[in-house]
Chain A
Amino acid sequence: MTEKPKLGVYICHCGINISATVDVEALTEYALTLPNVKVARHYSYMCSDPGQLLIKNDIKAEGLNRIVVASCSPRMHEPTFRKSIQAAGLNPYFLEMANIREQCSWVHEDRTEATIKAKKLVAAAVAKVRLLEPLEAREVEAERSALIIGAGIAGIQAALDIADAGFKVYLVEKSPSVGGRMAQLDKTFPTLDCSACILTPKMVDSANHPNIELITYAEVEEVKGYIGNFEIKVRKKARYVDFDKCTGCGDCASACRVANRFASEFDEGMGKRSAVYLPFPQAVPAKYTIDPKSCLYLTKGKCGKAPKCAEVCGAGAINFEQTDELVEFKAGAIIVATGFDVFDATGKPEYGYGQYPNVITGLEMERLVSASGPTGGKIKVFNGAEEIVPQEIAFIQCVGSRDKSVGVEYCSRVCCMYTAKQAHLIVDKLPEAKVRVYYMDVRAFGKGFEEFYDRVRREGVRYIRGNPSEIFKRGNKLVIKAEDTLTATPLEDEVDMVVLAVGLKPRSDYRTTMELLRLSQSPDQFFLEAHPKLRPVDTATDGIFLAGCCQGPKDIPDTVAQAKGAASSAMIPLAKGKVTIGAQVATVFEATCRGCGFCVSICPYSAIELVTVNRMGHMIEVARVNEALCKGCGSCSAGCLSDSIQPKSFRDRQILPQIAALGVLR
């Protein structure tokens, strides 16, 4: 570095977020005493336009060549200030931030202590920034296609948007059909449109769109690479039915030796299916699948003299020899739309779910009222061994939501409204029935929600404020024990059927997805967005986006909105055809590298290889970094025996002065 460092230190008040706890004036004066600091200023909002202008003007007027901004976390505004100093003609990597908000003013109360800590943090940033090197961000070609994981309404909508924009989409779905949870619903609140009527056309579009390659009954097995260049491996599970030959006639399912013996996943166990099955009549693709866990031939190796399905299949589609198939492709962006599971109501044993057949969950209720459901839309349940049409029906809200005793603190956002909707549907179908809802609070916050809630109450549904403590059986009635907390009266309520408004949970297999894509979780265990307000569809990893309930509970309009948001974000690299990737990669000082290959074995991305070079007539091996593969983690460097391999911007010689600066207050 030929140029002598001339530093500007900019201290942000962040309104009073920082200045209330840290003495910004004392900090500014202190900064001026640090080596090479030419300018130090404080300002109310450094990230605002006038704040950034302050920095830019100083760079030009004072000839500053290194900038320290002491403000919020670099995870928040590092890109902002990089752009700003770049606009003033500096290399964007000549910037270091001191985090005096999230890791100082917000966590300490004592002004003296916080100011001392802020001084140290600024000193450490000053110590490092002087030794930073200019870096150039690299541009690489981006693959103009996207991978979408999960084909519920979020995945389908995102896929259609991206495909309509002219890009290739790989839509991967784990189950045999697209549609997800929305396909299981009957009507949707508050407008009461039929879920299937608005969803099925989109399902069909997703299968027929020329730009969408729909891969159902498949799981993403491996994701490598980075934004613009993800390399993906998908395992298409064996269906044991030839996809091209199957006509979807269903002869196999009726002929199956174990026909209608197994609980249908789609009907939440309320209906039955055969070992060879179509999840539901409107399934897309309309191709049958043999469940290897229930098929006699596949589990026992024998099904009578010969499997009946194969005998009756006119198209000759049954193929027990089929094996899993691996599909590989590249994608420029990934959207995660893996959805949710509902709370397992056996986690609240006091409500008797699993013990009494007439205590059911909200999702089971959806199947029960659905015209395509196991009862053809007739509301009837078993009370003991007897099938009844319930006349006294109670709903219990917040089962597995807002309940620390089961480890769920959050509100699931949909249960108040789906309960109101189901109450309406019951009143509609069974005008004689008496319906009541036990609730904590009714959260009718969306467009048209409050109006709908009002309508349901006018229709005669009683709302009783109080969470029941227990449900037990007396005679042939279920007794709900509760307290009406508005009148402070304990009550026992005799009913024929109870519907538990179960909340939304992360999918039971969320860890697989998390580990596959290196996602983070928020405290509620849903996937974590990059910023709760400003980057709600992004993840910490560039090029990977979130849509729908995998990020947190949402209703259908919010899910669709987020899916469209994720689609448009994912299309940025696709439309540009290029992506900028981080310049902070590892680099080897070949003169001291002794070619031991230790870094080669450490690198998780196989970004380092040994190459032979001619050193003064001797052919020797040294390490060399493939910058396109390196992600700059720096593990190689910590393992290097001669400190020859170093990640740019995090070199030993840049970190050691930081350590020294934090050791003792200068």
Chain B
Amino acid sequence: MSQQFEPNIVAFLCNWCSYAGADLAGTSRVRYPANLQAIRVMCSGRVNPLYVMNALQQGADGVLISGCHPGDCHYMEGNFHARRRLGMLKELLEFVGVDPRRFHMSWVSASEGHKWKEVVEKTVEDARAAGPFEGFRRRRIDW
């Protein structure tokens, strides 16, 4: 392919802030790259670090996790749990040789449609720069 590499990105968005923010981006007809698909979870605290590994194994070139701003979690402290767990995961990923540009965390509130666009653009751009991920591919789950 002569065209530039188009990364595939899986995002986990919390229902209350980031998913709503992404919806707002839609309602405001903001434009952003189509490389990212979101999975809705109730809280960023729900995101098991395993999911990130799993996404990278199953064909994602980058992973984004987005929740409410610290202190604004709908479940009081779910995003603090997420921040700790995923912060550790980020270091682990670096340690095992995964380009840190493949893994992003962000806080996007329900009113930040434009911030969501910026986050997506940054995530896609970084994953594109990191190139296709072949690191620990596994036999695909035949769902």
Contacts and interface: CB of A to CB of B under 8 A. Distances in A.
Contacts of B8: 662-664
A637 B39 contact: no
Contacts of A373: none
A121 interface: yes
B92 interface: no
Contacts of B50: 652
A520 B110 contact: yes
A102 interface: yes
A553 to B, nearest CB: 16
Interface string A503-536: 0000000000011001011110000100000000
B16 interface: yes
Interface string B17-58: 101101101110111101001111111011111110011001
A650 interface: yes
Nearest to A131: B143
A659 B75 contact: no
B122 interface: no
Interface in B52-82: 54-55, 58-60, 71-78, 81-82
B60 A663 contact: yes
Given A117-B34, A635-B75, A661 B143 contact: yes
A127 B10 CA distance: 15
B111 interface: yes
Contact of A650 (B17, B41, B60, B81): B41
A513 to B, nearest CB: 13
B109 interface: yes
Per DSSP, chain A at the interface is: helix
B30 A107 contact: yes
B23 A634 contact: no
A518 B71 CA distance: 9
A584 B25 contact: no
B141 interface: yes
A655 B82 CA distance: 17
Given A540-B20, A659-B58, A664-B58, A639 B85 contact: yes
A638 B47 contact: yes
Contacts of B85: 638-639
A75 B19 contact: yes
A631 B14 CA distance: 14
Given A110-B34, A117-B34, A652-B48, A659 B29 contact: no
A660 interface: yes
A109 B45 CA distance: 33
Contacts of B41: 634, 650, 655
Contacts of A514: 72
Given A73-B23, A110-B34, A540-B74, A633 B42 contact: yes
B68 to A, nearest CB: 8
Interface residues of A, number: 58
A114 B38 CA distance: 14
B51 A655 contact: yes
Contacts of A584: 42
A541 B15 CA distance: 12
Contact of A660 (B37, B78, B141): B141
Interface in A209-230: none
Interface string A91-102: 000000001011
Interface string A105-136: 01111100110110011001001000000000
Interface in A629-650: 631-635, 637-639, 647, 650
Contacts of B71: 515
A103 interface: yes
Most buried by A among B41, B43, B73: B43
Nearest to B25: A107
A631 B73 CA distance: 13
A647 B38 contact: no
Contacts of A604: 75-78
A604 to B, nearest CB: 4
Contact of B43 (A74, A107, A114, A635): A635
B86 to A, nearest CB: 10
Nearest to A541: B74
A656 interface: yes
B42 A650 contact: yes
A422 interface: no
A634 B41 CA distance: 9
A657 interface: yes
Nearest to A115: B34
Interface of A: 35, 73-76, 99, 101-104, 106-110, 113-114, 116-117, 120-121, 124, 127, 514-515, 518, 520-523, 528, 540-541, 584, 602, 604-605, 631-635, 637-639, 647, 650, 652, 655-664
27 contacts: A35-B143, A73-B19, A73-B23, A75-B23, A99-B40, A102-B22, A102-B27, A107-B29, A108-B31, A110-B34, A113-B34, A518-B72, A518-B74, A520-B20, A604-B76, A604-B78, A631-B75, A633-B43, A633-B46, A650-B42, A652-B48, A655-B41, A655-B51, A659-B60, A662-B8, A663-B59, A664-B140
Given A520-B109, A604-B77, A664-B140, 6 more contacts: A35-B143, A113-B34, A114-B34, A121-B37, A633-B45, A662-B59
Interface of B: 8, 10, 15-17, 19-20, 22-23, 25-27, 29-32, 34, 37-43, 45-51, 54-55, 58-60, 71-78, 81-82, 85, 109-112, 140-141, 143
